[in-house]
């Protein structure tokens, strides 16, 4: 099986700060993969390199076999990113934001409308389609970020703390949606601070700390064999 993500000796420094310090990681196609680690571990830097927002300092990073820097045009329509921060155009109704995004990716206008309708229904905010982003509740904003990541029907969905700050009920609803996407074949890379989220969702988890991978295993194995110090810290 092809790897969705293949990383070898990846390094990134910001001046003196070594954000990634030799990361090796393979994410199999179709898997639900978790990236766990404390604040500042390098999770967002790792994601930003994958989607081409940050340039690596050294090493090799491939998505579906393509180099993330040299061949980024080959993969940008195949990756959907729901970032932690709400970097959304606030001057248009949310359905227009999604239609524009589809347009940037070369989706024809009529299909862009259909696709927008599909993703808004999928995340459960279709009735809010004429609302501006700022007028949505916090939970609806999280749903919108997921809808936007799905607009190109990506093969790899990257979710950076997708349920941060949402209540338990919405968290479970978002989980259902994400699990369903994975079961239909979408590879998922998820970062989270909630160990419960990783246990519930992920086949495999990498523990990242100070820019290094401490361990890769199923959530249960991590508990059993006690790569627990970082995980236990995250539980608290
Ligand atoms: P969090 O869980 O808090 O989001 P993280 O695991 O995503 O953290 P990163 O945001 O990747 O971690 O940060 C890794 C390290 O790189 C940190 O020490 C951070 O301060 C540093 N860093 C990140 N971006 C920059 C930047 N643009 N300039 C300088 N340092 C940066």
Can you say how many angstroms the Cα of residue 141 is from the centroid of all Cα atoms in its chain?
15
pLDDT of residue 231: 52
User: In this predicted complex, what is the ipTM?
Assistant: 0.96
Q: Which of 16, 23, 37, 44 to mutate to test the pocket of ligand 1 (most atoms within 8 A of CB)?
A: 44
Q: Which residues contact 35 (CB under 8 A, 6 or more apart)?
A: 43, 46, 47, 189, 190, 191, 192, 205, 206, 208
- Give the helix/strand (H/E) hosting 13: strand 3-14
pLDDT of residue 164: 84
What's the gap in Å between 167 CA and the centre of ligand 1?
26
- Residue 53 CB–ligand 1 contact under 6 Å: no
* Protein residue whose Cα sits closest to atom 27 of ligand 1: 14
Pick from 25-29, 105-109, 130-134, 194-198: least confident: 194-198
What's the gap in Å between 84 CA and the centre of ligand 1?
13
Percent of the chain past pLDDT 70, that is, above it, reads 95
pLDDT digits (tens, 9 = 90+) for 161-184: 988 888 888 889 999 999 999 999
- Structure-token pair, residue 217: 């295993």
pLDDT of residue 236: 45
Q: Is the pLDDT of residue 233 over 70?
A: no
pLDDT digits (tens, 9 = 90+) for 56-81: 999 999 999 999 999 988 898 999 99
Q: Which residues contact 149 (CB under 8 A, 6 or more apart)?
A: 80, 81, 82, 157, 158, 159
Q: Give the mean model confidence (pLDDT) for residues 111-138.
A: 95
Tell me which residue of 231, 211, 212, 213 sits closest to 221, measured CA to CA. 231
Q: Give the mean model confidence (pLDDT) for residues 172-198.
A: 92
Tell me which residue of 40, 34, 45 sits closest to 11, measured CA to CA. 45
- Predicted confidence band at 54 (pLDDT cuts at 50, 70, 90)? very high
Q: Give the mean model confidence (pLDDT) for residues 40-46.
A: 94
Q: Give the mean model confidence (pLDDT) for residues 209-228.
A: 85
Model confidence pTM above 0.90: yes
């Amino acid at each position: 099986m092809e790897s969705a993500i293949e990383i070898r000796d990846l390094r990134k420094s910001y001046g003196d700060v070594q954000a990634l310090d030799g990361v090796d990681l393979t994410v199999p196609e179709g898997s639900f993969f978790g990236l766990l680690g404390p604040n500042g571990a390098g999770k967002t830097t790792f994601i930003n390199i994958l989607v081409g927002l940050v340039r690596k300092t050294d090493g090799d990073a491939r998505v579906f076999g393509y180099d993330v820097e040299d061949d980024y045009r080959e993969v940008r329509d195949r990756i959907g990113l729901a970032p932690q921060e709400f970097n959304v155009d606030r001057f248009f109704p949310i359905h227009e934001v999604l239609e524009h995004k589809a347009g940037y990716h070369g989706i024809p206008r009529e299909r862009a409308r259909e696709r927008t309708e599909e993703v808004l229904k999928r995340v459960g905010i279709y009735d809010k389609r004429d609302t501006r982003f700022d007028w949505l509740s916090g939970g609806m904003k999280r749903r919108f970020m997921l809808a936007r990541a799905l607009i190109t029907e990506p093969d790899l969905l990257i979710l950076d703390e997708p349920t941060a700050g949402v209540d338990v009920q919405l968290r479970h609803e978002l989980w259902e949606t994400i699990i369903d996407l994975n079961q239909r074949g979408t590879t998922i890379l998820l970062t989270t601070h909630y160990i419960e989220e990783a246990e519930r969702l992920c086949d495999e988890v990498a523990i990242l700390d100070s820019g290094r991978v401490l361990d890769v295993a199923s959530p249960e194995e991590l508990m059993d064999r006690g790569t627990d110090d970082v995980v236990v810290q995250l539980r608290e």
